[in-house]
């Protein structure tokens, strides 16, 4: 393994570690709100990764100001566009998850998914 490369690309490594944290929180947490926080960390990690890949050292955000139109002046705009699209998607699924959580909380007065399953089993009997 070439650790020099890893150190050089440390922002990418940070993005992956964040992705892992978010992923495992979404998968393993019992509390629904913590799960949603995990989801947001996971999505944000992907956006960080994307933004990182579109960034070119010493260039500016792709918004034409002062009439500078040279391609050399700006960073790659596509990843930024993807991040914006991704944020829209992430906001809508977060909203949906939160509304589901509110519904469940009103019914079962707990945020613990396992507890809710246990109560459901009781209802059946």
Partner 1 sequence: MAFVQNLPFISIILSLFSGPLSSILSGKWAKRLNLAVITLIGAFSVLVLTFVLQTGEPFVYFMGHFPAPWGNEIRVGVLEAFMAVFFCVIMLLSMIGGSREREIEIEESKQNLYYIMVDLLLCSLLALIYTNDLFTAYVFVEINTISACGLIMIKQNGRTIEAATRYMIMSLLGSGMLLLGICFLYDLTGHLLMSNIKEQVQILAVTGQYHTPLFIALGLMAIGLAIKSALFPFHAWLPDAYGYSTVSSAAILSSLVSKGYIFLLVKIFYRVIGFNVVCDSKVINVLFVFGIIGMLMGSISAIKEKDIRRMIAFSSVAQIGYIYMGFGLGTEAAVVASVYHILSHAATKSLLFVAASGLTDASDGSGKFYDLTGAGYRNKIAGIAFTVGSLSMVGIPMFSGFISKLLFSQAAMGHDMKMLPTLIALAISTVLNAVYFMKTVITIYMPATGKVNMREGRVIPIKEQPVKAIALIFFIVLNILLGLSSEPVVNLIRIGLEMFD
| 31 bridge partner residues | 112
Binding window for partner 1 (CB under 8 A); candidates: 1-9, 42-50, 56-64, 67-75: 42-50
Site membership for partner 1, residue 9 (CB under 8 A): no
**Burial letters 78-87, b for 16+ CB under 10 A, else e:** ebbebbeebe
Binding window for partner 1 (CB under 8 A); candidates: 3-11, 62-70, 101-109: 101-109
DSSP letters for 99-125: HHHHHHHHHHS--BHHHHHHHHHHHH-
- Inter-residue contact 75 to 56 (CB < 8 Å): yes
Binding to partner 1 in span 61-100, by CB under 8 A: 78-79, 82, 85-86, 89, 92-93, 96-97, 100
CB atoms within 10 A of CB 114: 10
Contacting positions for partner 1 (CB under 8 A): 19, 22-23, 26-27, 32, 35, 39, 42-43, 46, 49-50, 53, 78-79, 82, 85-86, 89, 92-93, 96-97, 100-101, 103-104, 107-108, 113, 116-117, 119-120, 123
């Amino acid at each position: 393994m070439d650790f020099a490369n890893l150190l050089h690309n440390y922002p990418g490594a940070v993005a992956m570690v964040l992705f892992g944290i978010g992923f495992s929180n979404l998968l393993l947490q019992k509390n629904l709100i913590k799960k949603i926080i995990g989801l947001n960390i996971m999505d944000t990690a992907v956006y960080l990764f994307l933004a990182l890949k579109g960034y070119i050292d010493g260039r500016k955000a792709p918004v034409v100001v002062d009439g500078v139109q040279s391609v050399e002046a700006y960073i790659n705009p596509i990843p930024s566009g993807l991040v914006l699209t991704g944020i829209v998607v992430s906001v809508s699924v977060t909203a949906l998850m939160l509304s589901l959580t509110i519904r469940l909380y009103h019914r079962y007065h707990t945020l613990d998914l396992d507890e809710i399953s246990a109560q459901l089993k009781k209802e059946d009997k």
